[in-house]
Amino acid sequence: MEETLVDWSRAQFALTAIYHFLFVPLTLGLGFIVAFMETIYVKTGDERWKQITKFWMTLFAINFAIGVATGIIMEFEFGTNWANYSWFVGDIFGAPLAIEGILAFFMESTFFAVMFFGWNKVSKGFHLLSTWLVAIGSNLSALWILVANGWMQYPVGMVFNPDTARNEMSNFWDVILSPVAVSKFLHTIGSGYVIASLFVVGISSWLILKNKDIWMAKKSMIIGATFGFITSLFLIFSGDESAHQVALTQPVKLAAMEGLYEGKNEAGIVAIGMLNPNKTLQNNENTYLFELEIPYILSFLGYHDINAYVPGLKDLVWGNSKQNIMSTEEKIQKGKLAVKAFKEYKNAKHADNREKANEAKMVLDENMAYFGYGYLKKPEDVVPPVALTFYSFHLMVILGIWFMILFALVLFIVKKREISDYKLILKSALWSIPLGYIAAEAGWIVAEVGRQPWAVQDLMPVGVAVTNISSTNVMITFWLFAVLFTALLIAEIKIMTKQIKLGFEGGH
């Protein structure tokens, strides 16, 4: 497969996914926040809570629309740009996508209409239920797509069928209850809750700074900061579990996240550091230009044992017999055996030679776990871009901790003091809104760039997964998406800021 095609296809997928994920997190979290607010309105009957609910609901809708617009392409892009992938694993991967459509999308879209237009048409109770169902529906849709993503990171519950040349599902429960999928789901919805809380707290701060609708802004702030504080703790715990899963299933990604070239026991984590750009797998230069390390943490994070050995990139590429780590070279050899056996099986079947087919099948089964390595050219190919993974990971973690501190501060001040006196806190809260998005995208970069070159871990590299198409086509669609999505994003931000300026009393 030509390199430029793979690059453009990856670029397009990254572009569309990054855009889509600008809108998803807010939908995930704000849906619940709005539902809390409406519940208070229904319980108290206080019209001001209805106004609060409607204000945030309007912002929810503006965000939701562009989330839908950028989402439809994701459903089809596996086919349009990753056709070989779609066949190779479609038997497993397609199911969660279809279930997502049946169980989640319809719930969202049906009750979305009731939530917006039903105020005077349906009973209060049915309206409230609809608001909750929109929140639940959007979180359910996240569940299924993240099950699918988790499966790509850690494929389980399937067997390779050489007759159809694809992986076939053998256990549905293994797929959806895979620990990688579960921790990925929890961590991702957690990030959505935190971003939505930052959004609510930040905008409420701005309104307070502008001395606008103070009572309602404060009430919103309390809800946002409470939800944000609880969910940011949850986010940190689920992040810890995610890192543990990465250590168990994708050790190369973990090594890249920490820039760990040489493996070690009692490995520490770099709190802040700068990578040495001259460092390669081959040389012995220092990994960092400077670093501030917290001892033991990486061993503990990865393996829940402060003495555990964390393999470095060199161990994983060149092998380490002492630690019982197989070299990539050996995996490539096994992979090539598997690919060759698969071809022999096909030929034998074609020639109706059963004996030979059985022989080939045995070799294939034995080496199937390394199938994807058979397509790699050299061992170093298994190493993802280290700097991008490293910095994204650290940025995400630092920001995550900052958000927790911010929510705690805001919550304390708004409850115990007069928040409008704390201008610096209010401004920090406002400026933390974009930081939330940066943290979430950084998290996805860790997850997706960090697992390169794999489309499906160990089974299929991106170079094989891509559609057979000339790169010019993909280049054109890349730019079309870039222009269209950017234009729509500008429109969205302009509309959103206008609605925020109108405030709680403004038109919805």
Per CB under 8 A, the segment of 107-115, 204-212, 246-254, 437-445 that binds another protein is 107-115
Angle at which helix 179-209 crosses helix 124-153, to 10 degrees, equals 130
Query: Does 272 contact another protein by CB under 8 A?
Result: no
Establish if 48 lies at the interface with another protein (CB under 8 A).
no
Minimum distance of another protein from residue 308's CB (angstroms): 37
In the DSSP assignment, the letter for residue 325 is B
Strand partners, 272: 292
| Gap between the Cα atoms of 138 and 44, Å rounded | 27
Amino acid at 262: E
CB of 138 to another protein, least distance (A): 12
Question: Any contact of residue 174 with another protein (CB under 8 A)?
Answer: no
> In this complex, which beta carbon is closest to another protein, that of residue 172 or of residue 215?
172
Kindly tell me which of 78 and 154 has the beta carbon lying closer to another protein: 78
Position 495 contacts another protein (CB under 8 A): yes
Which residue has 């099950």 as its token pair?
147
Q: How many CB atoms lie within 10 A of CB 336?
A: 17
Alpha-helical segments (H) within 154-213 = 172-176, 179-209
- Exactly one of 14, 40, 48, 118 binds another protein (CB under 8 A); that residue is 118
CA-CA distance, 436 to 192, in Å (whole number)?
9
Q: Which is nearer to another protein, 174 or 291 (CB)?
A: 174
Question: Site for another protein (CB under 8 A): which residue of 43, 117, 423, 486?
Answer: 117
What is the footprint of another protein within residues 450-469 (CB under 8 A)? 467-469
Q: Does 135 help bind another protein (rule: CB under 8 A)?
A: no
For residue 150, give both structure tokens.
Answer: 């988790």
Per CB under 8 A, 136 contacts another protein: no
Q: Could you give the dihedral angle defined by the CA atoms of residues 178, 399, 442 and 150, in that order, rounded to the nearest 10 degrees?
A: 0
Determine if 4 is a binding residue for another protein (CB under 8 A). Answer: no
Which residues fall within 8 angstroms of residue 497, CB to CB, at 6 or more apart? none
- At position 375, the amino acid (one-letter code) is Y
For residue 353, the Cα-to-chain-centroid distance in whole angstroms is 47
d(CA 128, CA 118): 10
Q: Considering beta carbons, is residue 31 or 259 the nearer one to another protein?
A: 31
CB 150 within 8 A of CB 249: no
Cβ nearer to another protein, comparing 34 with 243: 34
487 binds another protein per the rule CB under 8 A: yes
With CB under 8 A as the contact rule, the residue among 6, 24, 114, 317 that binds another protein is 114
Q: Which of 130, 205, 245, 367 binds another protein (CB under 8 A)?
A: 130
Residue 303 in contact with another protein, rule: CB under 8 A: no
Footprint (CB under 8 A) of another protein, residues 316-375: 346, 350
Residue of the chain from 13, 82, 371, 422 that contacts another protein (CB under 8 A): 82
